Structure 1
Amino acid sequence: MAEQEQEPDRQADVELGASDQVRALFGDRYDVVAGFADRLQAEGELRGLIGPREVPRLWERHLLNSAAVLPYLSAATSIADVGSGAGLPGIVIAAMRPEAEVYLIEPMERRTAWLTEVSGDLGLDNVQVKRGRAEEFHGAFEVDVVTSRAVAALSKLARMSLPLARPGGEMVVLKGRNVAQEIEPARKVLRSFRCSEPELLDGVTVDGVEPTTILRVRRG
């Protein structure tokens, strides 16, 4: 019964992924992103990367959600994705920005194995997979932009992420609707990095797909 109930959603999601709007959004990188979608569809649940309820809505809830951050990465030539997990948004970013060096930071071995495997299979030569917590790489390298998706509350996320951003670099993260409530508790941490006032931005992709909320701060 559950499979029968999910099937219409899955078909709608497949049709969304093949739509002209989505193809136009990803442009000449569409085939790479679609290849990533196919891998997640086939292996994501089996390898413990995504839950079974997420499989029928990969494009709408995950791939397009990840792509929403791209317009806010400006001219970044180096990007770190904290807590990459299944590669959302890191693999999508790497696929869309092949000229940028993309670090995928993930502590779990089975997830880093997946990230290494899928980035290699997709021909993403701009990816470096880093196994460990973000804090373990403080001082090891700095990037233009640090991003993440649904990793931690802003105060904790800022402590993890901002040391990876160069002075003048940015933290640009995909957050939920209630992120505004996380700003005040995070102000002490943000001040310690002399950050700009947090901006809340709309992450818009294609018609009919709900925008996501993006928070951006610049490190002083």
Structure 2
Amino acid sequence: MVQIGNFFFKYRNFLFIFLYLALFIPFAPVFSEAALGPDYYRYPLLIGLLVTILGQLIRGATIALAYIVRGGKDKKVYANTLVTNGIFAHCRNPLYVGNILMLVGVGILVNSMLYMLVFIPLFLFIYQAIVLAEEHFLRNKFGSDFDAYTKRVHRWLINPIGLGKTISGMHFSWRRWLMREYNTQVVWMLCIVVILVFKYTHWTWDAATRNTWFMIAVLVLACYYGTIRYLKKSGTWPTV
């Protein structure tokens, strides 16, 4: 599993492209009109949005409270410090938990049985392998400190005890959240927009109105991306 994890760690960014594209493979729905009536679409809409937004909020809180250097080094697992504060004091992999919830949420939102039964389990298997590879590295580098950390903090489950105290007791850097997360946010939000505009045919608008709103949403996201990128690259917002 460690070798599998090292392989997928190297190519994990391409994994998300593949998983987002897989959302649009036509397949039978999880929530159907036959089972739930004409308003069946409200279930995937509400549940999907709640789950995927929760995932982004977990990622945001993790990055804003205690940033961990992501991306490895030379496309290999790497860490120069063992981060155990912030959300990492409540879960060993909160960023990955956020990613999982974001993808599960959009899977529910797109209402695809194929995505939920095939692609999400595949994604979970790959993430488990990546985490095992990371833990192998951390255990070899940090030894007993990492072992002690694993004994008090769960790999996947977020322990809510003391979470409020952790958040209130640390500086919340929303600027770091935006600077470190804007790429992920824009791709994620664009995916949601495409699903809502083109997969949900229940809105009372014609094709012209639909396309207009889609272009407006794309323009807003492009402006958001361009603004944050400029602030970061120009040094107006120094990297933190």
Q: Same fold (TM over 0.5)?
A: no
Q: TM-score, normalised by structure 2?
A: 0.26
Q: TM-score, normalised by structure 1?
A: 0.28
- Kindly indicate which of the two structures has a greater share of residues assigned to strand: 1
- Kindly indicate which of the two structures has a greater share of residues assigned to helix: 2
Structure with the greater alpha carbon radius of gyration = 2
